[in-house]
């Protein structure tokens, strides 16, 4: 079997710091021509974006895709609402989790898989301030241990 090529374009680095990731999903995105060209050029930001489910459809909000330079009057609105392509049962499950458990839907990364633009979304719960401090402390301890092990092996 051949390997599936994936090329990550954008990653939400703050997501693991701000949220506990419970589950992840892969979703396609409905895009226009100039949007896909801008994403291929790497002109996309997912830092402030989130996913909302309404009328049994999922939409990504505040996904910033820069205007395409050669787009002229065909260009798109940079932060418009874009529809996500998920299975109906996944959408229903996400909607019930967000309403009942108070979870949030956030994008983790945008990537190309076999030439198609995909978004990895996560069902997440927000961390409190002390949780953030604890995870930073654990990360720092892990880094220090790796550093001391590397120094011993020299």
Any domain includes 133: no
Any domain includes 150: no
Predicted pLDDT of residue 73: 66
Predicted pLDDT of residue 115: 86
> Cα torsion at 61, 38, 12, 26 (round to 10°)?
70
How many structural domains does the chain have? Answer: 1
Parts of the chain with a pLDDT under 50:
none
- Residue 12 structural domain: 6-128
Any domain includes 31: yes
β-pair partners for 53: 58
Residue 128: both structure tokens together? 């409190």
What is the pTM (predicted TM-score) of this model?
0.78
Provide the CATH number for the domain around residue 105.
2.40.280.10
């Amino acid at each position: 079997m051949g390997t599936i090529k994936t090329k990550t374009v954008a990653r939400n680095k703050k997501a693991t710091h701000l949220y506990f990731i419970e589950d992840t999903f892969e979703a396609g995105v409905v895009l226009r021509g100039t949007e896909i060209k801008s994403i291929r050029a790497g002109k996309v930001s997912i830092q402030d974006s989130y996913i909302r489910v309404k009328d049994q459809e999922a939409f990504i909000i505040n996904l910033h895709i820069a205007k395409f330079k050669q787009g002229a009057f065909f260009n798109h609105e940079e932060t418009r609402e874009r529809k996500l392509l998920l299975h109906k049962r996944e959408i229903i499950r996400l909607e019930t989790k967000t309403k009942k458990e108070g979870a949030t839907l956030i994008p983790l990364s945008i990537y190309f898989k076999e030439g198609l633009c995909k978004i990895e979304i996560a069902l997440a719960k927000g961390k409190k301030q002390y949780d953030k401090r604890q995870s930073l402390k654990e990360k720092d301890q892990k880094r220090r241990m790796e550093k001391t092990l590397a120094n011993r092996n020299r």
